[in-house]
Chains A and B, each alone.
Chain A
Amino acid sequence: MLRFLITVIRRDLLLAARRKGDWLTSQFFFVMVVSMFPLGIGPEPEMLRRIAPGVVWVAALLASLLSLSRLFADDHRDGSLEQMLLSPEPPVLLALGKALAHWLIYGVPLLVIAPVLGLQFGLQADVIGVLMLSLLIGTPVLSLLGSVGAALTLGLRGGGVLLTLLILPLYVPALIFGAGAVDATLAGLGPEANLSLLAAFAMLTLMVAPWVTAAALRISIE
């Protein structure tokens, strides 16, 4: 069972490595969205510091949604999704593997880029640390919840926009706790409360989302 999970993850990593263009698009989208805010709002350092956590987090939500619409769509189009569902291994592991691979490919790079963006917004080193930590705990939630939406909207016309409509409201707790942790640090309060709530939400998502995704895949492929 574990071997199947690892195979699914390795497969998606291999495919992503063969198509670096898609991968880079998503990362640059993240950087560009964040960079638009100072241009729209103005360069006052105090203001930028205030909005930085929210801006980075909202951009992370959007960037993950951008790549999620293709999470199952490519495999569906070429028929390999059907073949994977016909594997003797349980579909819930397939769902989990796909979501984890999405996190490794699209979520983890955000952690690496975030400090640079933090510097752009004049954040202190300790605040940047909390930002990275909040993204580390929070981005798996985005991949897991998003995989539910990707499975539900599989093969529908306007799937990408629809996915956004379905999933963004569900992202609200992750956004609030994630950006809240950084906010609290900025305000001189500790980030612990927000981070533990975020971690609890992540655990719950990890336990529930793969089952729902697997069920949604079965429904969508019929």
Chain B
Amino acid sequence: MSFSIYKYASPMTFYGLAGKMIPWFSWGAAILAGLGLYIAFFMAPTDFQQGEAYRVIFIHVPAAWMSMFIYMVMAFWSAVGLAWNTRLSFMMSRALAPTGALFAFLSLWTGAMWGKPMWGAWWVWDARLTSSLVLFFLYVGIIALWSAIDDRRRGDKAGALLILVGAINVPIIYFSVKWWNTLHQGASVSLMQAPSMAAIMLMGMLVMAIAAWFYSIAVAMVRVRGIILERERQTEWVKELLEKN
């Protein structure tokens, strides 16, 4: 049974590695988020045009970035998984999807919160918000597909295919929504065009973005550890591990 060692080595070692990474990234995320929020609420100046409401961009923009970035990472792992049939890759994309969906939802929610004082409406069909909405739908579709498929191998591969099709489609969707928006002369003020973007604001956004990164990594690691344990529960090392605790 020499093949089993080769096969199971990578999730097993990764389980330990992920365990070591979690505290670092959790603390990093907490500290950076604290710092970022301090910058956002106490250091960044009040915008003369948008007032205090603009401060929601410190959450909105990093969340929107993160939701897109996580999708790209999932597409990467899906491609790796389909090409080399590496089991850890599929676990990674499964671990990331809920966080990506959360950030997409967060960017929609904060967008609406910003929209109410700025546009006087909770929802405006602005290109960016609409694209976020479609991205959120894509996440929902992927998670729904996974939950509908009982067989793990099939679920992994089918999900990966869907993610890749989505990845090809996402730039086209973004472009088409932007195109649609200019055609219909939608809202002219965008959340990203906060005028007089001061250096300190950019700084705050970057800190928040890194905090979101750290958070995503920490949460994905926790989730991937859970998935590894569940999938490898019949192997010796997991049985030993469970006996120890």
Contacts and interface: CB of A to CB of B under 8 A. Distances in A.
Direct contact of A and B (CB under 8 A): yes
Interface of A: 148, 152-153, 156-159, 162, 165-170, 172-173, 176-177, 180, 183-184, 197, 201, 204, 208, 212, 215-216, 219-220, 222
B21 interface: no
Interface residues of B, number: 29
B180 A176 contact: yes
Interface of B: 134, 137-138, 140-142, 144-145, 148-149, 153-154, 157-158, 161-162, 164-166, 168-169, 172-173, 175-177, 179-180, 183
A197 B179 CA distance: 10
Given A173-B173, A222-B154, A165 B140 contact: yes
A219 B134 contact: no
Contacts of B162: 148, 152, 166
Contact of B177 (A162, A167, A172): A172
A169 B173 contact: yes
Contacts, number: 80
The interface centre, meaning the residue of B141, B142, B157, B164 with most chain A CB atoms within 10 A of its CB, is B141
B80 to A, nearest CB: 16
B240 to A, nearest CB: 32
A170 B161 contact: no
A166 B145 contact: yes
A215 B161 contact: yes
B153 A220 contact: no
A158 B148 contact: yes
Given A165-B141, A166-B141, A215-B161, A180 B180 contact: yes
Given A148-B165, A153-B145, A169 B138 contact: yes
B158 A152 contact: yes
B172 A157 contact: no
Given A152-B158, A219-B157, A173 B145 contact: no
A173 B169 CA distance: 9
Contacts of A216: 158, 161
Given A165-B137, A215-B161, 17 more contacts: A148-B162, A152-B161, A153-B148, A162-B144, A165-B141, A165-B144, A166-B141, A169-B134, A172-B177, A173-B172, A176-B176, A180-B180, A197-B179, A216-B161, A219-B154, A219-B157, A220-B158
Nearest to B138: A169
Given A172-B173, A183-B183, A219 B158 contact: yes
A172 B154 contact: no
B157 A172 contact: no
A171 B13 CA distance: 41
Closest 5 CB pairs of A and B: A173-B176, A169-B137, A166-B141, A176-B176, A176-B180
A166 B172 contact: no
A176 B46 CA distance: 38
A184 B184 CA distance: 10
A177 B158 CA distance: 28
Nearest to A222: B154
Contacts of A162: 144-145, 148
Nearest to B184: A183
